[in-house]
Structure 1
Amino acid sequence: GLSKKGGLPGSFFLDIERNSCLQKIDWKLVLLPTPVLVFWSFTWFALIPPEPTELALASSPEWNSWIVYVYTFFSASILAPVTEEILYRHFAMGLLARWFGSSKPAVVINIGITSLIFAMAHAGVVTEDWIKIVQILPAGFLFGWVNYKKGVEHAILSHSVYNTLVIPISSLIEHFFMR
């Protein structure tokens, strides 16, 4: 569940009694969602190919500079996972846990609500919002489950690994198969 040590619920790293917090990371749990989500995303988009919105196309950088790669990596692999997991998993799940409690049905409802909000926040990048929501909803469920099991740091790491891998994989697929 959510860690209560160190003063901040869900904060694994604030537990100062641990010798090395990096040794306490459950890497199996962190890495487990990635192949599932990569498979799901590419299967879903193969079945129902999304069309990017004009806004998404206008805000997409030209991939002709190393600084674009650095910016994209930082944004997708570090900034988005940290901010989204703190917002959706730490704060929102923490608030809902106070309201609904910690029974199994309450946890499922909590993860479901925060996953739906997380997925809806990713709408607007393809012309049919429901396509993106269905694609990203399982990520919300899995990151919520990781957060419930081990805390927000594990969810951040899991989200970061997924984002770090899905961007180059999708770029390679687009480059070699979609031209």
Structure 2
Amino acid sequence: MRKIIEQAVVTLDGQISTPQNWLGELWAGEMEQRSRDLLFEVDALLYGRVTYEQHAAVWPHMEEQFGDYAVRMNTIRKHVASTTLKDTTWNATLIEGDLIEQVAKLKEEPGGTILKVGSGGPLSRTLLEHRMVEEYLFWLFPVIAGSGARLYDGIDTTFLKLIDVTRLENGILGLTYAPR
């Protein structure tokens, strides 16, 4: 059975908004390499509508700037959960019908790990509530943002178990958790 990994970038105060004034400064180097490694290890991406539309508008035009990373983003298979989107482009399939049932079917299909892209939205909450994610990778940035969207704001208390910690030279911690 395939597993889903949800990756999130989060500040010390729980913010997931990613203004360039703090993300860009810390992303280069090890963090960028870790993100690259993960993208090349998985064989599919899972999106909610908002993040999918943001990425679909940008990545097809980034191959010259980002080389094989952008090629991978553009060619990897994508699955999009949305109740309002009518069709997809950018190498994606729309998940139709009951979301949990369809994600369960997707996990039963042959293939490798699925990376859930984007965090904090309705798809993340639904997957968490239904225990559909096997692994959470939180990149904790050494920043206090002060305001912005919060990771899993409004969700019921959910306990996770720590399975790995990665410390990057610039102070970012990679905290990998599994459902308890």
In the superposition, the TM-score normalised over structure 2's length comes to 0.25
Higher strand residue share = 2
The structure that has the greater radius of gyration is 1
Higher helix residue share = 1
